[in-house]
């Protein structure tokens, strides 16, 4: 079974630039999550999708971050404009609809904002 | 949200059994307890999940007392490759789950 795919794996941009990350969840998984993990900290949930709909985006900085899930499958996370403090690893995870809370994580995208 | 408290770090030696305890005093009736493992430069990986008593799989055991206010992840005979950060999460259907700082386990030869 293929895992969660993310791209790019690494991205370096300057502050005030825009960046987008892509995630392809495990086939058939209804739930998709985006996390931000700053070095030395645990992952912080940014947004959770259930199929096409947003379940939780309470911790998403909506003035600069946006996310969408196309046709309930792939998802993109965008930052516009980026700030220095956005430097982190952005993790995507997916889970089956009938799971209590098991999440399968992708390898992440390491973003460096200069 | 059920908040969790874990030790920041632990050291062990190869071949020893490691027990990492997580406190979750305000766990709700519908909440499950889930543990994840994270290696450097990788996303977290599911280890084990339980609701009460004891759960065992090929990787670890999870002990949950009757009051469910804490849980203990037990790793038998650890090796150097078990060096990682271990996260304890409490929640229902992932809607209320939050990662804390985790426990950084270092296994020494």
Q: Tens of pLDDT along chain A (114 residues)?
A: 689 999 999 999 999 999 999 999 999 898 999 999 999 899 999 999 988 899 889 999 999 999 999 888 999 999 999 999 999 999 999 988 765 568 899 999 999 999
| DSSP calls for B41-81 | TS--EEEEEESSEEEE-SS-EEEE-TT-SEEEEEESS--GG
Confidence of residue B69 (pLDDT cuts 50, 70, 90): very high
- Is the model's pLDDT at B41 over the cut of 90? no
Taking the CB of residue B42, how many other CB atoms lie within 10 A of it?
15
Flag if B43 and A42 touch (Cβ within 8 Å).
no
Whole-angstrom distance, CA of residue A39 vs CA of residue A70:
30
Whole-angstrom distance, CA of residue B61 vs CA of residue B96:
24
Look at residue A34 and give its three-state secondary structure: strand
Whether chain A has a CB inside 8 Å of the CB on B39: the answer is no
Could you give the count of Cα atoms lying within 13 Å of B1 in the half-sphere of its Cβ? Answer: 11
Whole-angstrom distance, CA of residue A56 vs CA of residue B68:
26
Confidence of residue B93 (pLDDT cuts 50, 70, 90): low
Partner residue opposite B45 with nearest CB, options A48, A56, A105: A105
Short-list B69, B64, B63, B62, CA closest to B24: B69
In chain B, the residue whose alpha carbon lies closest to the alpha carbon of A88 is B41
According to the model, what pLDDT value does residue B51 have? Answer: 93
The answer to which of A31-45, B50-64, B84-98 has the lowest mean pLDDT is B84-98
Residue keyed to tokens 């993109």: A76
Q: What is the mean pLDDT of chain B?
A: 91
* Category of B93 on φ-ψ map: left (φ > 0), alpha (ψ -120 to 50) or beta: left
Look at residue A99 and give its three-state secondary structure: coil
Confidence of residue B43 (pLDDT cuts 50, 70, 90): very high
According to the model, what pLDDT value does residue B98 have? Answer: 80
Asked if A4 and A24 touch (Cβ cutoff 8 Å), the reply is yes
In chain B, the residue whose alpha carbon lies closest to the alpha carbon of A46 is B98
Whether chain B has a CB inside 8 Å of the CB on A48: the answer is yes
Given CA atoms B19, B14, A105, A30 in this order, what sign does their dihedral have?
negative
- Is the model's pLDDT at B95 over the cut of 80? no
State the nearest Cα–Cα gap between B93 and chain A, in angstroms.
4
According to the model, what pLDDT value does residue A66 have? Answer: 97
Q: What is the largest CA-CA distance in chain B?
A: 41
Which A residues in the span 7-36 are in contact with B, Cβ-Cβ below 8 Å? 31, 33, 35
- As a whole number of Å, the end-to-end CA separation of chain A is 37
Confidence of residue B101 (pLDDT cuts 50, 70, 90): confident
Partner residue opposite B87 with nearest CB, options A42, A55, A107: A42
According to the model, what pLDDT value does residue B1 have? Answer: 59
According to the model, what pLDDT value does residue B30 have? Answer: 84
* Category of A10 on φ-ψ map: left (φ > 0), alpha (ψ -120 to 50) or beta: beta
B8-18 as b/e: b if 16+ CB within 10 A: eebebeeeeeb
- Is the model's pLDDT at B2 over the cut of 90? no
């Amino acid at each position: 079974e293929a895992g969660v795919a993310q791209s790019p794996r690494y991205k370096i941009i300057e502050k005030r630039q825009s960046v987008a990350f892509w995630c392809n969840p495990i086939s058939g998984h209804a739930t998709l999550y985006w996390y931000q993990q700053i070095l030395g900290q645990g992952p912080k949930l940014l947004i959770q999708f259930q199929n096409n709909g947003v379940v939780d985006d309470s911790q998403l900085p909506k003035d600069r971050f946006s996310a969408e899930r196309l046709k309930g499958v792939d998802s993109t996370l965008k930052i516009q404009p980026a700030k220095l403090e956005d430097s982190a690893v952005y993790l995507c995870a997916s889970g089956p609809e009938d799971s209590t809370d098991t999440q399968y994580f992708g390898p992440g995208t390491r973003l460096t904002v200069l | 949200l059920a908040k969790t408290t874990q030790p920041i770090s632990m050291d062990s030696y190869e071949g020893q059994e490691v027990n990492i305890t997580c406190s979750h005093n305000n766990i709700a009736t519908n909440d499950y307890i889930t543990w994840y493992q994270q290696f450097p430069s990788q996303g977290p990986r599911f280890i084990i999940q339980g609701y009460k008593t004891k759960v065992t799989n090929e990787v670890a055991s999870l002990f949950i007392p009757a009051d469910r206010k804490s849980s203990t992840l037990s790793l038998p005979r650890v090796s150097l490759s078990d060096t990682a950060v271990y996260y304890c999460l409490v929640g229902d259907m992932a809607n209320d789950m939050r990662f804390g700082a985790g426990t950084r386990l270092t296994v020494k030869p």
